[in-house]
């Protein structure tokens, strides 16, 4: 069984420095049918203006994943650990791909530092692993 959650059904909030779309109930938005799915609690599509961000705030018993589509993100936790953009390793497990203009085949890998854009296309059906090494 599949239940679709269309993009135009999400809640929207705009704080000036943050333009966000919320897939599930979040802060002042409540819908008993869309308060998460199993262990997945929040999926936000956030546009954060340059030089702004979220202040220190706690997260208890959850993993946070940030997927940056463009730009860069800096994250500092309460322990003082500071992370910023995207050293990474790409490994081709199966198939053939073109990665930032270079052809890679099964077993090939690539180290990445200070890349502003990642462009991946499959030459044939492929499986890849991309490790964020910040």
1-85 and 88-132 in the same fold: yes
Q: CATH classification of 88-132, choosing from 3.10.50.40, 3.30.360.10, 2.60.120.380, 2.60.120.10?
A: 2.60.120.10
Cβ(95)–Cβ(103) below 8 Å: no
Mean pLDDT across 5-18: 91
Nearest to 23 by CA among 15, 12, 39, 32: 12
Asked if the model's pLDDT at residue 134 lies above 90, the reply is no
Strand, helix or coil at 81? Answer: coil
Cβ(18)–Cβ(52) below 8 Å: yes
For 42-101, the pLDDT digits (tens) are 888 889 998 888 877 777 777 777 777 777 777 776 666 666 657 889 999 999 999 999
Q: CATH classification of 1-85, choosing from 2.60.120.10, 1.10.10.10, 3.90.180.10, 3.90.79.10?
A: 2.60.120.10
The share of the chain scoring above pLDDT 90, in percent, equals 29
User: Which one has a higher pLDDT value, 117 or 97?
Assistant: 97
* Domain coordinates in residue numbering, the chain: 1-85, 88-132
pLDDT at 82: 61
């Amino acid at each position: 069984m599949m239940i679709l959650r269309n993009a135009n059904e999400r809640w929207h909030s705009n704080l000036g420095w943050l333009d966000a779309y919320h897939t599930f109930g979040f802060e002042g938005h409540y819908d008993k049918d869309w308060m998460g799915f199993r262990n997945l609690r929040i999926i936000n599509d956030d546009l954060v203006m340059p030089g702004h961000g979220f202040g220190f705030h706690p997260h208890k018993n959850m993993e946070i994943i940030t997927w940056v589509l463009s730009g860069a993100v800096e994250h500092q936790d309460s322990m003082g650990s500071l992370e910023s953009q995207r050293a990474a390793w790409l490994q081709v497990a199966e198939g053939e791909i073109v990665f930032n203009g270079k052809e890679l085949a099964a077993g090939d890998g690539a180290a990445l530092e200070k890349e502003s854009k990642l462009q991946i296309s499959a030459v044939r059906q492929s499986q890849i692993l991309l490790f964020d090494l910040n």
